[in-house]
Amino acid sequence: MPRIKIDHTKCTGCRHCETACSLNHVANTVNPRRARIRVMKEEDQYFPVIAGPFVDAACTSKQTIVIGNQTYDMCALCRASCPQKPYFIEAETGIPLKCDFCGIPPNPSCVRWCNTGALELVED
């Protein structure tokens, strides 16, 4: 099964993936807020996050994750959109968004526009 491998050490935070995604889903329209991939910045790192399932309730507990000597907010890296995290929701209709592996096969559009190799399509 193909999957998108995310290497956050290569991400430069240019958000070209966001524009690619929104161009591919809404005809002739660019809006990063309507994209199904968002680049999150935590401390000095960028984390591309691809929209996962929508949950209608927020988690009851907050988690932090420690990588190396830095602490990150798990909420930012989470793929879900929830009442507490106003991401991955279509602005005009309020419908939650989820990644659908778009674009010309086999490449999803975000992978094709990611020039640094942070997003990569891999086969298991």
Partner 1 sequence: MDGCIGRYLRVNLTEGKHRIEEIDPRLLEKFLGGRGLGVKVFTDEVDPQTDPLSPDNKLILASGPLVGTGAITGASCNVITRSSLTKTLACAKTRGHFGAELKFAGFDMVIIEGKAETPVILSIIDDKVRILPALEYWGRSTAETEDLFKKNLGDPWVARETFLVSIGPAGERLLPLANVVNDRYLSVGGAGTGAVMGSKNLKAIAVKGRHSLHVADGNRFVQVVNTMINKLNSAPLASQSMTQWGTAFLVGLCYQKGILPQNNFRWASLSLKNVGTEALNSAFVLRARGCFACPVACIKKTVVKHPTYQGKGMVPTYLAIGALGVNCGISDLSAIGMASMLCAEMGLDPVAAGGALATAMELVEKKVLSPEELKIDLRFGNAEILIQALRLIATKKGHAKRLGQGGKALAESSGRPDLFMGVKGLSLAPFDPRAIQGMGLHFATSNYGPHHLYANTFFDELLNVHENLDPWEIDGKPGLVKRYQDTSAVMDSLGLCNWPLMGLKFNNYVPLVNSCLGTSYKADDLLLIGERIWNLERVFNLSAGFNSSHDTLPDRFTKEPISDGPAEGQISRISEMIPEYYHLRGWNEKGEPPPETLKALELENE
By CB under 8 A, name the binding residues for partner 1: 12-16, 19-20, 22-24, 26-34, 40-41, 44, 73, 76, 85-87, 91, 109, 112-113, 115-116
Question: Residue 1 or 106: which CB sits closer to partner 1?
Answer: 106
Q: Which is nearer to partner 1, 56 or 124 (CB)?
A: 56
Question: Minimum distance from CB of 109 to partner 1 (Å)?
Answer: 7
Nearer to partner 1, 1 or 61 (CB): 61
Task: Give the H/E segment covering residue 23.
Answer: helix 16-25
Count of Cβ atoms closer than 10 Å to residue 15 Cβ: 16
Nearest one of 89, 33, 32, 25 to 56, comparing CA atoms:
89
CA 28 to chain CA mean position, Å: 21
